[in-house]
Structure 1
């Protein structure tokens, strides 16, 4: 049985993703994505710098078709091509800081706290949760010693925080779709 991530190229260099993977993403998008939309996503997921001409060749469609679909995905907000530094490749440290807000915390205080986290250059992601904890703020810094200081400076003394859990990241075996191998990993 073919793995969902299997793909092959035909003689013209057109990539053929497995039907299972295309159907998976169409299902996950609740039918919003066409086969071409999914293939554009899959191609850009592997390399976000692919020009429309190469994208069209990889998918076996015309350049205007590839461009039209890519632009439509971006305009709908379904697709955003971004750059991302791999912290571990630079020897940087990162941690997930999981927070529970106090029940009596004012909505405005929480919003101001989140806005402050958004503006912090050492915060690279913020996720809100339902359940025991309310939010995860993901920090990075040059090493674990500095990371600890950064996190403590940000959360210590905040009256809106009921409890926190700091989880330093030591490895990322998978980042989105890519298995990761790091220079310093054992």
Structure 2
């Protein structure tokens, strides 16, 4: 009868996903609170991440444009978008591996679905992504990117939806494995 128990486990897992998603107010508030807590007493708040990402993108863009003999005006926007998306992927893996361990106290005290913590982390990453997207929005008029945009650029919207849907399952997989195998988080780091 292992198939029946597996079926019940999948049923409970999907119920947890539904219950967690229905508790949107909780994970939206917790994710926003995480950002406020992290940058409490800071003048620029979460824009420190935007500044750091912008400086990193500029340094990498200038370096690699020079090394590869590419014009900076066309190479820097690609490096910037790649870095912004990579930050989401990287955080989904690294912070995802710690999602259940870091929220142990809240999991024990708050009667909610476990997926609330996954949604909270992905929501927080979406907020960081939105802050970092400001860098690209500034680049559009500065480098005249809008002249080169085609209607196919709208495909980035479903691409971003897929990126954050993938962030959910990546967070869950690494979170579960890291809960059982505590050495996984340092290995991923």
The TM-score with structure 2 as length reference comes to 0.27
Bigger relative CO (Cα 8 Å, ≥ 6 apart): 2
The TM-score with structure 1 as length reference comes to 0.27
Bigger strand share? 1
Bigger helix share? 2
